[in-house]
Structure 1
């Protein structure tokens, strides 16, 4: 069930420690303004009211689908999308969103709302792209338990690797990917496996370590790792040519 939820999440969307809930929110996490400052034109208030109605309906739907695998994940994704929209429009306080993330995590479903929200900010899925806000939600996610922590570690590593929403830093990226691999995150294991096989990103060539990681990644559902293994065995690149093994990974 947990593996199914993780894979469904990945298909739907394409991954900081905080000092506590009383910290000053930064990008993507606005402080609630005093009541006098919160007065909005009637059209804006109406828009917020409609958003709240949509959110309430999505939360209710998620509750109804709690025992229904894929539909539950889809419903939770709908809630996360609405919270991301609410954050960007200042219709909801970040601490309220974290409370929702906590409540979902406590169910033991393996669903990580903060990581999904981070992905939405990173790719601009249904909202305006905000890489800094994405990084902050991923940083929050790495301090959380559950099967989705690996996604937050992996995605945050990508941000440091590319210098997108964070200062470019290969060492930080590698450190995060190693932690994600320790969490058995398939894409992270596949990425590090290729680095070992090819001697890239500061790694010395180590076929044994590379193959071990790639095979775990492929067995965990990472299709690029399966294709990579099939190709190297078919061509004898870094390994002895073996068409039988190649076909196994191509299947």
Structure 2
């Protein structure tokens, strides 16, 4: 047993999960997926708990199953399954699933082909529901002109919202824009 498995709180949670509590199954899956509280990361155990939680009606597990299949975490990478799980999660209004679906459309993974219009729609749904990743990905689309007319100022607006919600990649993009003077007058002191 790892240190985390001997944790009293984890043992209680795992006991509840073994007795059929769907929310506990989801949480045990999170513990294994992220390696929380000293628990050794184990993606195959996380997958097993998330699948059990879904069988018991816990929709939050669907989103993580989508992520697991998209990343190939403990399973063979399968974008089609990732898309299916994320679509199911989005039907339960799990807004970060919208962001995941948008990403799959941008890359053309698990879908018929790249579709920037659909990607933008899903990123907008995510952003409209305060999902930070949606703001960040819209910023990337506008910064690079992916499926939209390039608009650095609009990209910055999306990056600022994402940064204000703690998205580290948004801080990086903003720093890069101001440091290099992309679309703005170069302003190195502002970056410092």
The TM-score, its normalising length taken from structure 2, stands at 0.70
The alignment covers a number of residue pairs equal to 168
2:99 maps to what in 1? 154
| Cα 1:75–1:86 shift into 2, 3 Å | closer
1:221 maps to what in 2? 166
Q: Map 1:167-246 onto structure 2 (within 5 A).
A: 167-168=112-113, 169-198=115-144, 200-246=145-191
1:59 maps to what in 2? 17
Note the alpha carbon deviations across 1:59-86, whole angstroms, 9 max, x for none. 269x8xx8xxxxx986341578547347
> Does structure 1 conserve the Cα–Cα contact (< 8 Å) formed by 2:142 and 2:151?
yes
Partners of 2:49 and 2:15 lie apart in 1 by: 15
Displacement of 1:244 in angstroms is 3.4
The TM-score, its normalising length taken from structure 1, stands at 0.56
Partners of 2:61 and 2:47 lie apart in 1 by: 10
- From 30, 50, 58, the counterpart of 1:101: 58
Partners of 1:180 and 1:157 lie apart in 2 by: 9
Partners of 1:73 and 1:100 lie apart in 2 by: 10
Displacement of 1:100 in angstroms is 4.0
Partners of 1:86 and 1:236 lie apart in 2 by: 48
Displacement of 1:203 in angstroms is 1.9
Partners of 1:58 and 1:78 lie apart in 2 by: 14
Of the structure 1 ranges 136-145 and 177-186, higher mean CA displacement relative to structure 2 is found in 177-186
Displacement of 1:183 in angstroms is 2.0
Show structure 1 runs of 5+ residues with no match. 1-54, 67-71, 103-111
> Does structure 2 conserve the Cα–Cα contact (< 8 Å) formed by 1:135 and 1:159?
yes
Note the alpha carbon deviations across 1:31-72, whole angstroms, 9 max, x for none. xxxxxxxxxxxxxxxxxxxxxxxx9647269x8xx8xxxxx9
More helix by share: 2
Partners of 2:76 and 2:16 lie apart in 1 by: 21
1:118 maps to what in 2? 66
2:28 maps to what in 1? 75
Displacement of 1:127 in angstroms is 2.5
> Does structure 2 conserve the Cα–Cα contact (< 8 Å) formed by 1:58 and 1:79?
no
> Does structure 2 conserve the Cα–Cα contact (< 8 Å) formed by 1:196 and 1:207?
yes
> Does structure 1 conserve the Cα–Cα contact (< 8 Å) formed by 2:26 and 2:49?
no
Displacement of 1:120 in angstroms is 1.3
